[in-house]
Structure 1
């Protein structure tokens, strides 16, 4: 194989690896969203005595600051989980877009056999 074909094949491999990294970072962001949904939608226990609390989204005492349930799972903690997902989603989209664009560019480059010299 000629040197330019090696360069193109290497470029294609690196592009696909970059896309895989982007998908992995998207998966990490998706796991943070899943953790947020679990914290928001499922009942939990709080306090020293293990008091049963309803789901955060369906509680009647949503803004009652004296409630043990409200203070144990407050909104800043929930939004912090979402904020944690943001850098992973941005990096994942950047890596995936870069890898996809590079793969398309490398796909348009023909791999030509070497020209015989006389």
Structure 2
């Protein structure tokens, strides 16, 4: 069983991480991570996605996701019940970015 003081400390650490992510997004992290458009992508579309992400961060909003349903909530209002939806949103974004990077890397030659 987790002591209440440990639970509170973990909750505070979780919120520190969430606030740092908001600050990073506010500073244009998504645009930096995305970089230039890959073949078949639109630089304008990537720019739009990065702008929208920065705007949401400036509003202090964190993305939550449940399957295909996506919504935003002020980071200061996140609760323990939101963690699964936050983790899913972060996982989907990471998978998307990794998929872009993987598709842009040269294929390993067959031996």
Normalising by the smaller structure, the TM-score range is: 0.3 to 0.5
Structure with higher Rg: it is 1
Structure with bigger strand share is 2
TM-score normalised to structure 2 length: 0.36
Higher relative contact order (CA 8 A, sep 6+): 1
